[in-house]
């Protein structure tokens, strides 16, 4: 079953975020058992050529590679899709027009306005027709809901054909409320409650980026009903592993 099928069926999928532009990181994470991995081009130094290498490694490991683009830009979306990404996660989608633009950037005419090029996705020109059919049926568009304006317009955003689901960006959403990082603040709780109510009404696939590498934080979002969950990111797993290991070592040394 493809990732697209799982999203359509609202099956729980768990992925993670890559911000370190090295193929070894992508390979290690791809073999860890995730359902998908996202190459982050918004909050990292990853360039398009590095992104293509990461996409290739994830793909060859049998996982669905996604890219979180830096902005809702048709040119950038076209390039990461041509590089072989299975879909995009688009930041700051705050209106119906934003959502329509994101979908149209992925799809060729007449469904969209993506320019036609021959690159890795099209098997370097050998199978454009096969890719075009795949793109129509299997490409993925996830919109990020990370501003209070997006919450206010969520119904119309989710009504756009071609939007496969949404993902909450907790830091930016709280920032738009003037309370960055205060996830338990009443205004943030209120916003998330509204998202949940609209998502249920629209029968939409709901996603959340759990920033903490803590497993319990992820379990909490599963209990809340989220189905498309990003669990932390590479640098936090690395940092957490280093700190916890060293803490345990020093504790044992002190006990001697």
Q: Which residues are catalytic?
A: 43
Residues 6 or more apart in contact with residue 28 via CB below 8 angstroms = none
| φ and ψ of 14, to 5 deg | -125, 125
Nearest Cα residue to 143 out of 218, 63, 68: 68
Two tokens, residue 111: 């469904």
| Nearest-angstrom CA–CA distance, 31 and 4 | 20
Q: What count of residues does the chain have?
A: 256
The alpha carbon dihedral of 40, 116, 122, 109 has a sign of positive
What are the C-alpha distances in Å from 31 to residues 60, 209, 237?
Answer: 11, 20, 15
């Amino acid at each position: 079953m493809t990732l697209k099928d799982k999203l359509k069926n609202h099956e729980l999928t768990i992925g993670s975020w890559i911000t370190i532009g090295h193929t070894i990181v992508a390979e290690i994470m791809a073999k860890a058992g995730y359902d998908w991995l996202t190459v982050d081009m918004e909050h990292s130094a990853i360039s398009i050529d590095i992104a293509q290498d990461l996409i290739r490694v994830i793909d060859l490991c049998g996982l669905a590679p996604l890219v979180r683009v830096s902005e809702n830009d048709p040119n950038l979306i076209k390039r990461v899709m041509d590089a072989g990404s299975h879909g995009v996660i688009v930041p700051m989608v705050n209106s119906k027009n934003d959502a329509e633009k994101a979908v149209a950037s992925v799809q060729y005419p007449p469904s969209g306005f993506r320019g036609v090029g021959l690159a890795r996705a099209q098997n370097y020109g050998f199978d454009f027709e096969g890719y075009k059919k795949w793109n129509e049926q299997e490409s993925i568009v996830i919109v990020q809901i990370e501003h209070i304006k997006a919450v206010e317009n969520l119904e119309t955003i989710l009504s756009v054909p071609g939007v496969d689901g949404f993902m909450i960006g907790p830091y930016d959403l709280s920032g738009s409320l003037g309370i960055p990082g205060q996830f338990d603040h009443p205004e943030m709780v209120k916003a998330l409650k509204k998202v949940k109510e609209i998502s249920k009404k629209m029968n939409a696939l709901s996603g959340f980026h759990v920033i903490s590498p803590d497993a319990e934080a992820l379990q909490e979002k599963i209990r809340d009903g989220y189905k498309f969950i990003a669990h932390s990111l590479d640098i936090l797993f690395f940092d957490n592993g280093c700190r916890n290991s060293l803490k345990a070592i020093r504790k044992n040394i002190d006990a001697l």
